[in-house]
Amino acid sequence: MDVKSSQATGTHTVCCLRALSSSPPASLWKAERRLRDIWKLSRQLLGEQDLRTVPPWVRRFFHPETLRSALAFRDACVDRGDDFLLACLLGILHHQRPGFLSYPSSHLVPYLRDRKFPRRLFPVMYEERDVILRLEAKVRRTFRRPPIAYTKSRRVIQIDARVFPRIRGIRAVITSPPYMNELDYVRDNRLRLWFIERSLPEGLELVGRNREQAFTALLRAVCVRLAPGIERGGYFVFVVGDFTRGGGRMGRTSELTRKLFEAEAALGVFKLDGIYRDTIPDIRRSRRECRGTKAETVLVYRKN
């Protein structure tokens, strides 16, 4: 099995294994049928949506009726355990294009773009959005490329990697540890994260006066837990970011990772198989033309 930890939503900062708990539909027809069922349920939940309980900073992004409808659909997805459709909702949550639900805003790090698109000049961009039409379009776009058909059995485990179950036969662990607080994942994904739980998660960033100690301690806890389950010849792959704020030295995170594998007895069976440097083009960065992580180092360890 492959074990992966994603940094897209910030969950990687505690090295969690997070994935969708429900299987995606096998076809567009089945996806549209599920969408109709969930939408019907969401209309029954519409009257329960009290926007006074929604934080003001969230309300600022949406027309009130758009927000009410989106929250009802979110609650219906959670009620049915349909993470596929919830992900579709999150995918169209905020942007300035017509197919999205918010007032004009950025797509990655959410902030309103009302200065560039003032309400008096762009009144249409501040009108109520039809949620179901945009969800239908999102589902159709999702199935433009058919999902991969897996022939082997698989399962999803959603758990903190530091208490990962004792599983044998893991072929590869691919993870991206926190970037020394170079990125604030809660802030950068705050709108989608709030919609998932109707609150913002806490404790996702490395805290304390010594970030390097916190980084190493967290990495050690995860690696020691997962290493025994990796089969002989299997891989432990790390994608680490170089931090630049506060006088940080380039390559420091990769250096700390290598020192950990050299010093930790439980990791002595792993040998560094390759190092790859990946420069991040400015066009791919969520905050362009600014400081921050400009390159990543990929460390590939192989178990003897």
Separation between Cα atoms, residue 249 and residue 7, nearest integer Å: 22
Amino acid present at 86: L
Q: What pLDDT score does 237 carry?
A: 95
295-303/270-279 β-pairing: antiparallel
Q: What is the mean pLDDT of each run of 10 residues along the chain (304 residues)?
A: 39 34 80 96 96 96 98 96 95 95 92 94 96 97 80 74 88 82 74 92 60 84 93 93 57 84 90 86 54 75 93
| pTM for this prediction | 0.73
Residues 172, 248 contacting (CB under 8 angstroms): no
Which residues, 6+ apart, have CB-to-CB distance to 130 below 8 Å?
none
Phi-psi map region of 81: left, alpha, beta (phi>0 left; psi -120 to 50 alpha): left
pLDDT for the residue numbered 48: 94
Residue pair 174/186 in contact (Cβ under 8 Å)? The answer is no
Look up residue 127 and give its two tokens.
């009108």
Predicted confidence at residue 4, as pLDDT, reads 45
pLDDT for residue 9: 33
